[in-house]
Amino acid sequence: MREATAHGEGPGAGSAFILSASSSPDSLAMWRLYGGVKESYAIGLDPAQPLVALAREDVDLRPDRDGEVHLRRHGWQPVRYRREMQLELVDAALALLGDLAGGPAAPFARRPLDDGTEPELTPALREHLARHLEPFLDALQEALLLVKHEGFADERETRYAVMLLTRPGEASRLVEASLLSYRASAYGIAPYLRLTGTDPDRPDAPVATRPSLLPIRAVAVSPSPNGSEATASVRTLLLSHGHDVPVRRSAIPFRS
């Protein structure tokens, strides 16, 4: 399993998995929407550090599985709420599509067929399309993942997205099953990917079979009358798991 490449026929069906966060560590709107009525916490992750999908131990990561399942990771990107910023994403994707016509004329020659059927694309054209089309599709995909109605702008959302691309077949199904977990939600049973820090022994691999420390750089504690006690206990908990990071109490006045 590896990052998808731009050569050959691409994978088949794809699913997007999104990890949502906020760029604001102490937002009253976020505490109210997601914090609940008791103590709640905001975990600050280092956006410069990559995350990888966590698979069960029985996953087969042999190189001959490269053609079956691909993971394509999109690093942390801010959500675009304003229309002009959304259009910038689309325009950037379309600019890449324009490169399809920028290559030499020779690759666009079609191979003549004697039986009257539609002519095939030449190998050179297939390679040219793969080289220029995939960046466009990546950019378009990223644009779709980052567009949100401006009414949600107070969330200041940023997203880490992973695309899971599979080809039909038993091998793909087994590898996909080793990656996906499931949980109950308001909309039914929801599949999800577990993310962890990179494996020190395989820092470039998009998949790990054992959990590593998440790149936590700070934790914020919600507005609370018990802020000092909550801060101390969270700090102790983090240290016990190898995270020597600051714990900050919310600066927002508490109201019961």
- Do residues 109 and 122 make contact, with C-beta atoms less than 8 angstroms apart? yes
Give the Cα separation of 41 and 231 in Å (integer).
10
Would you say residue 45 has pLDDT above 90? yes
Binning pLDDT at 50, 70 and 90, where does residue 59 land? Answer: low
Q: Where are the domains of the chain?
A: 82-144
Q: pLDDT tens across 111-135, in order?
A: 555 555 555 666 776 776 667 777 8
Give the Cα separation of 90 and 109 in Å (integer).
30
Give the Cα separation of 237 and 99 in Å (integer).
53
Mean pLDDT for the stretch of residues 168-172? 71
Would you say residue 217 has pLDDT above 90? yes
Mean pLDDT for the stretch of residues 139-147? 89
Binning pLDDT at 50, 70 and 90, where does residue 58 land? Answer: low
Question: Burial level of 19, CB count in 10 A (0-12/13-18/19+)?
Answer: middle
Max Cα-Cα span within the chain: 83
Mean pLDDT for the stretch of residues 220-241? 90
Rounded to two decimals, the pTM is: 0.76
Mean pLDDT for the stretch of residues 229-235? 90
Mean pLDDT for the stretch of residues 207-223? 92
Please tell me the predicted confidence (pLDDT) of residue 98.
Answer: 64
- Residues contacting residue 208 through CB under 8 Å, at least 6 positions apart: 52, 53, 54, 55, 196, 198, 199, 202
- The distance of Cα 129 from the centroid of its chain, to the nearest Å, equals 25
For residue 163, the SS3 value is strand
